[in-house]
Amino acid sequence: MKLAQYVLQRFVTYLAVLFIGITITFFLPRLMPGDPINNYISQVQSRAGQTLSPEATQQLRDSLAQLYGLQGDLFTQYLGFLSRVFLHFDFGPSFTSYPEPVSTILITALPWTAGLLLTTTLISWLLGNLIGLVAGYFNKHPAATVLEIFGIVLYPIPYYIVALTVIVVLAFVFPIFPLTPTFLPGAETFARIGSILYNSFLPALTLVLAGFGWNILSMKALAVATKEEPYVQFARLKGTPDWTRMTGYVFRNALLPQVTALVLSLGTIFNGALLTEMLFTYPGVGLLMRTAAGAGDYNLLYGAITMAIIAVATAAFVLDLCYPLLDPRIRLAR
C-alpha cells in the first residue's frame, strides 16, 4: 500500500512539473524582444521586392495571428496553447519552415538528441562510478590519488570549455575528426552508421568528459566511507574476498546516493547536451532551439523547450520508480 502511495506521489509531482514548466514556456518567449508576425511580414516583403499596402498587411497579420494561435488576449492564447499541447501535442506550423508542423520537425531532431544524450549519460555515469568505486575501495593506493586528481580537474570545467578544448585539440591541432559534422541522408547501412558514429564522436566525448569528474569524486568519497561500515568490516573478518566486498557490499550501498544525484542533475545534463549541439552544429533539439530563438520562431521554440521539459521530467520520474528496486527500505514498505 505504501509503495502504491509512493508511486502516486511521484506521478502527481511529475504532472505538476510538466504543468509549471509548460506554463513558463508559454510566457517566457513573450517577454523576448521582437514580433514574429512583423518578422515574417518583413521577410515576405523582402522576398517579393515590394511593400504591401496597409490593407494587405493587416489582412496578412490577421491571418497569421489566427494560424499561429496569437489571437485574443494573453489568457485566451494561454488556454488555447494548453489545449493544443496537452490534448493534441500540436504546436502549430513553424514560422521559419512554413507550412511544416513543429511536431514533424521535432520528431526528426529528437532521435539525434536522445541517442547522443542517453549514450553519453550512461557511459559517463557507469564509467565514472566504477572508477570512483575502485579508487575509493583501494584509496591508499597511489593510483587512487591520480584518479582523484583527474576528477578534480575535470569537475569544475563547464560544458562549453570542454567542447571548445575538444574542438581545438582533435579537430584543429590534430585534425582527426571533422570540425563540423556532416550527416548525409540515406538508408541505414553499416557505412552510414559508421559515418554517424564518426561525426558524433566529438560531441559525445565532450558530454562524457563533462560529467565524468563528479561521478569519480562522489563515488570515491562514498566508497571510502562505506567500506568502514561495520557490516563491511565483519565481511572482511569472515574472509570474504575483496571483489565480493567491493561489489556486493560497498558498491550496492554507495549506489543509492549516486542514483539520486543522477536524477537531480538530469536538467543540467540536458542543458549541457543542448549547448554542445549548438557548438558542434549537431542536428538535434539544441540546434533547433538556437535557430528558433534567433528567428523569433515562437512555435518551434515552444515545441523544443516543451520537449526538453517532458524528456527531463519523464527520465526523473522513471528513475524515481526504479528507486525501490535499489532501496530495500522502500521495497519492504509494501
**Cis amide bond preceding 99, omega within 30:** yes
| pLDDT at residue 277 in the model | 79
pLDDT in tens, 210-230: 878 888 888 888 888 888 888
| pLDDT at residue 139 in the model | 81
Report the C-alpha gap between 261 and 42 in whole angstroms: 48
Q: Full-prediction pTM beyond 0.85? A: no
In the block, which residue shows the cell 508576425?
A: 37
| Cβ–Cβ under 8 Å, residues 312 and 267 | yes
* CB neighbour list of residue 316: distance below 8 Å, 6 or more residues apart: 14, 17, 263, 266
pLDDT at 274 over 50: yes
Ramachandran angles phi, psi of 315, nearest 5° = -60, -45
Give me 241's grid cell: 574476498
Residues 306-320: what's their mean pLDDT? 81
| pLDDT at residue 76 in the model | 78
Whether domain 102-331 has CATH 1.10.3720.10: yes
SS3 state at 15:
helix
Q: Which of 165, 190, 201, 191 is nearest to 282 (CA)?
A: 201
CA dihedral 304, 310, 315, 318 (to 10 degrees): -160
* Range list of H helices, 68-158: 74-83, 102-137, 142-154
Domain ranges of the chain: 19-88, 102-331
SS3 state at 288:
helix
Burial of 147 (0-12, 13-18, 19+ CB in 10 A): buried
Give me 294's grid cell: 534567433
pLDDT in tens, 124-167: 888 888 888 888 888 888 887 888 788 888 778 887 788 888 88
Report the C-alpha gap between 265 and 298 in whole angstroms: 27
Report the C-alpha gap between 310 and 291 in whole angstroms: 20
pLDDT at 87 over 50: yes
Residues 202-206: what's their mean pLDDT? 86
Residues 278-284: what's their mean pLDDT? 81
| pLDDT at residue 334 in the model | 47
Average pLDDT of the chain is 78
**Of 65-74, 86-95, 224-233, 266-275, where does mean pLDDT reach its minimum?**
65-74
> What percent of the chain has a predicted confidence (pLDDT) above 70?
80
